[in-house]
Structure 1
């Protein structure tokens, strides 16, 4: 019997929305496989990156034998997270009342999306790669930061999507390319990190690229995530630092303000960085 893949992000979000209530994780073909899942949930273990069940000890898990193998259940033993920004950023789901299932209703960092336009050729369908989620500095609304291209094979440009734009029909294509290096440092940003392991050759390539980028970053000044910068009438609040999906050039994504006007999403590349920018981050900010 073919078993459905378990969406551990959704399971963890459901558990967090309903603390101390047992939720179904899935049925596995053997008690040994189920025991491995129970261990991974209890200890927040993931083969790559951060587990959806982090931190260790935040979840309890149990298993029981069934006719075809063993079923695993889990429950969250902490407090429910009701803050929208935290829930979407960390767990990919909006907070929901107890007893209801969370709905994945926004972009998730580390994922690639395309517009649901079945009658258009792929080169005419926009794609969006999400690298971080942030809240507008003055409005109670979220933005998905990343890169967008008008269609396959066309240039990528920094972009941001509003929550209302999610309803335009974006389709999740899965995790971004495994050799795609992405850095997010600000506490208001987070990447999805519980994606499957990439083949060894791709992981090695990504590790080499990350090491190279880290060396270059140490030697070259650039914006820092979570910091506020001034340049004449301009103010730029850096939300996340990542790399361009095609060129690998470091890119700062965040909020731009001119002469005290409203904040708008904006992206700066390394080529646009200059000595005219001054870090004006206040005490206690940028941590």
Structure 2
């Protein structure tokens, strides 16, 4: 797949994006969920080696190349790794899966109801390295905890500011201003979020597009205007702590949004499963999430 092919696949492909981008802070939890105890690794290098083994097992499973997974978001160490003798991005491309890279460096402490992204040191160099490995786009996450108009405005402005920097490298940015699903004022706050995104979309140059990764809204089809916006290539949904079943049920209420799940994809996978059982379990999750994405 070349750049044009990957753009078309992201715009029109039937399926979903797998989030395989757990970073340092979330990796131990992901490994425990996979059945790998903290005692089985010692230090960061061994921890990342364990999570890389899990990701390689997912990527090489037959069900992952079924055509229903149209993209995958990678952690930097995964992008730099190898699978079956190939760089991971190329291994994904060979399976018909468009590679993305998580570029954010974590969150600032909460201010004004939100958590902005920490500064992303070396972003330009990272973008160029990713592009050289065949990566199509990037993803970066910030978090909204309250319906604060000024806080949400700051979150969206930061996402678009860095998104424009990424566009300058010829990569497709996925902007992820996640709204905490347990926030009591989420319905009100999501209306503010939508308005701020629409305002920032108008600041993009002619021909520029971004992707959006958003919490599944309280009000069904709230983001329909974003789905149909000419400056949005695709709107994808995060599972945000929902189980696979809950996330799929909620996603199916929102036409045009497709999934980009992590927990919702991986929750039933275990290190001690046989390859056949592992692939069967992964395939069942892929089928369920794909069906919800096509609703």
TM-score range, shorter chain: under 0.3
Larger Rg: 1
TM-score when normalising by structure 1: 0.28
TM-score when normalising by structure 2: 0.27
Bigger RCO (CA 8 Å, 6+ sep) = 2
Q: When you count helix as a share of all residues, which structure comes out higher?
A: 2
